[in-house]
Each structure stands twice: as C-alpha cells, then as structure tokens.
Structure 1
Amino acid sequence: MTAGMDLPSNDIINEIEFIFKVLKQYNVSFHETNRFSQFYKSYKKLIESNNISNNFSELLEGMRDFFELKSIVSSPEILGTSVEELKLMLSGCRLPSEDSNSTARDNQYQLFLASRFSDSGMNVNCVEPDFSFEFEGVTYSVAAKRIKSRKKIYERIKEAEKQIMQFEHDGFIALSLDRLLESDNPYVLTNNPDDLVNITNELLLGLVKELFPAKYFEERSKRIKGIIVTLGIPSFTPFDSSLGYGFSLQLFPLTELGDEMEYLKIGRICEQLA
C-alpha cells in the first residue's frame, strides 16, 4: 500500500477544520495548545505570509498528524470504539524528538493503522493487543509498534510477538519505521510531488534491507502470520512552498514452507490493503 498527498493549502485548512468538526461530534475537544491545534495555526500563518522558514520542522511533523488524523476520522468503526484513545493521542509535543512520553503518538499510530484496514473494507475492532481485523471469516490480531531506535528493532519485534501470543487469534506484527531515518525530522525535498509515492516506497524497502536481517523474519512463532512495516514522511516542494506527505506499507508473509494456501491468503490481504 502506498499513498501520497499534496493538497492545495486552502484544501488542507478545510480538511483540518473538518477533522475538528468530526472529533467534536465524538466529544473529543481540541485545546488551543495541543500539537494539532498548533499546526493549524502555523499552517494558516504560512498561507498568509508564504514564509516556510517559520516553524518549518513543526509544519512538516504536523503533516504527519494531519495525514493520520484524516484517515482516522474517515473510519466510523474507529471513531465509535476509541473515544478515550482519541483524547489521549492529541497530547504530546509538536516534535517527536521532544516527547518525554511517546504514548500519545503510539496511540495515534495504532488508530491510524487500524483505520487503514477499516478503510480497506475489513471489519476492525480496537481490542488488545492493539486491534484485530477479520478477513475471509478469520480474525487476526495486530500488535503495532513505533520503533524509535535502530538498536531496539529486534526487542520490539519480540515484544509484539509476546503480546499476540497472549490472545487467542494468530496475528501480525506491525512496525512504524518513521523514526529510523537518519534525521530527527526527515522530509523529502522534491519538485515533482507525483514522485513522492515511489520515493517513500524506496525509502521503506531500503530501511528493511539495511536493518532487518533474515533472523528477524525466520525466528518467529508459527502464530505470527506476517510482519507489516510502514513508513510515512513529509515532503516539501520549493517552487510553490507546498507541503505534502508520503506513506508506504509492506506486508511480509511468514508462512510455513509449502503452505501455499496460507501464503496466497496473506497475499490477498496485501491486495485488499493496496
């Protein structure tokens, strides 16, 4: 699954105001000091002044919040079952590098990923370990982790596997690699926003090739059916000073040798997520 977004500035403002409106319907209020409200104010100033240098890093990170919240509010399943989690995810600093506690952004990633499954037509429930989805009559668990350190990738994989093993359904480990790029606040600089989807996908596959040795996939329990890796990255287009966002998701099946039926089924999950 890949996605790119490079909307006109006024469209982004309208979309943000729509997000505010939808969440308010679920009694999720936006304090003027929370990071998404701050992004909204900064983005309006950007339109008025056309000066991208002010709060550049915060604007880029705000695009991630915008892209993820836009997906979350598009899913009635997620909105209807996650009010407390929605309230929690709006806390935190404007930059993840400044967070002393990552719970808010961890929550946001879990709800965002669940919304992607929901928007793909699967029945989703926000239950432990993080959420579950139904495909072809079978329920699968998902344990989703935002990895913040290259040194802790394997530790987080094992932690997610342990979580899944505590519940009845086989499942998938989902890993956000956003924080593993070689910069505190990375972004794509491009004069062609149409290239963003391919660039994001190449960056994701490059991280997997560099940081995921074979044992990360091979040493998993039979109950782990696959590892999902995702990457989201903001973009900046200099010629019109516009901001965008790229997202890529890859699912690596973990099936027993010779189990073609299971392999093909996981392939169909991939296709539905695309």
Structure 2
Amino acid sequence: MRRNDIATVIGLIAAVVFVMFGIFSGSGFAGLQYFWDLPSVFIVIGGTAASLLTSFTLPELKNTFKVIKQGFSQHDQDIEGLISTFVTLSDRARREGLLALETEMESVDDEFIKKGVLLAVDGIEPDVISDILNAEIIAMEDRHKLNRSILDKGGEMAPAWGMIGTLVGLVLMLKNLNDPSSLGPNMAIAILTTLYGSLLANVVFIPLSNKLAAKTEKEVFLKQIAIEGVIGVQSGQNPKILEEKLSAFLPANARRRDDDAEEGNMNEA
C-alpha cells in the first residue's frame, strides 16, 4: 500500500519558506518583484528541458513525471510485516504442504513475493529461485538508476543553464553600456538565471534523486529478505526458526523491543 511521503512536501515547502524569508527580511513583500524575471525562467527551464531532450530518448523522458511522483509517495511495507508474512506462510506450508500456498498467493499484492512462492510451489530448486529473484532485483535497480539519471542530469544542467543565462545577461549589459536604462534588466537576467538554476537543482532535482536512491536501497533490502523467506518456506523450516533467521535483518532497537516483549510475556506466564 502506497501513501504520501510528507517529508518530501515539507522539504520543498521549507526551502521556499527559507528563501522567501531571506527576501522579506531584506526588502519586504515589495522585494518579490525583484526576484521574478521571465527571460531568466525561459533560459533556465527551457534550456534544462532542451538538454534533457538531447540526453535521453522520448520514451525514457515519458516516465519523468512518474519518477518524480515516486518521490512523493512511500510504501507501507516494513521488515516486521514481511517477517510476519513469511512466518505465516511457513506455518501453513508445514501443516498443509506447499501446494496450499497457491491459494494464499491470491490475496498477496506483492508480485515479487508471489512469484517467489509460486516458484517454490512448482518445485523449482532453491538456487534457481534465488538466481531468478536476484535477476529481478538487478533489473529493477537498472530501471531505477536510469530513471534517477534523468533527475541527476537535470541537477547538472540547471546550474549550467543558469551560468549560460548569466553570460547572456552580461553580454547584453556590456553591449548597451551607453543605455543606462537597459543595465538593470540585463543585470537581472545575469543574476537571476544563476539563482533559478541553483534553486532548481538543489531544491528539486538533486533532493528527489537522493530520495529515490534511498527508496531503491530499502526496496532491494526488503526483496533480499523476501528471497530468504521464500527459500526458508520451501525448505520446510520451522516457523520459529525462520522468524529468528529473518529477525537478523531487523535494526538493533527493533530486536530489543521484540526481546523485551517476549520476556514480558514469559514473566506474565
């Protein structure tokens, strides 16, 4: 189940608030007009978009908005829930056999887990299952890396186009030194394009790429646990032993909570 990642929204809003506060503290609300320049916007955003079109194919770029959307959502699945799922599957497999898990998979939304368990039900060798599922992980990482590379390239190109805009503004300014009225607008292009490029890179492109990289690492970690769970279920491991084995993937503080809870239950008994 996916839900909104409020941290991304808070981060973007906070960045805007801090920049606005800097403007207000120096010149008040009236100062906002000094930081808006349409030619600078066209140079930075248009130039960055042009560079991305040159760097990637159209089918690759079609996924850009889907990729950005991923930065605003997160998956609710956690390690403890994953362990609980495989403990339940292991218990049923030991009581009713592996074939009983085929109907169990109808209610599982995770396609990776479903594929692994169905391979186990079909009697595929553990090594082969591991190879197939690891190949899925590698393919997923490659897809995610390609998608993030669009954001990474945007993070490189936006400041570069900001500098190009600065050069354009300086050339226009130097060409019209005899016209004092043109110095201000041309200097605005020179300065604001650098600002826009830096903001676009450091508020949008780079942070979202970092967020997606962290999400990929977590997803790979969860899938590695799932592989261990599938192999454990197929080999008929005792649910308690499988739980202990998979619990090694839990953070230390989570393991301590489980141990404390188990100790409390024993004391109550």
Could you say which structure has the larger radius of gyration?
2
Range into which the TM-score falls when normalised by the shorter chain: under 0.3
Q: TM-score, normalised by structure 1?
A: 0.21
| TM-score, length-scaled by structure 2 | 0.21
Larger helix percent: 2
Point out which structure has higher relative CO (alpha carbons under 8 A, 6+ apart): 2
Q: Which has the higher strand share?
A: 1
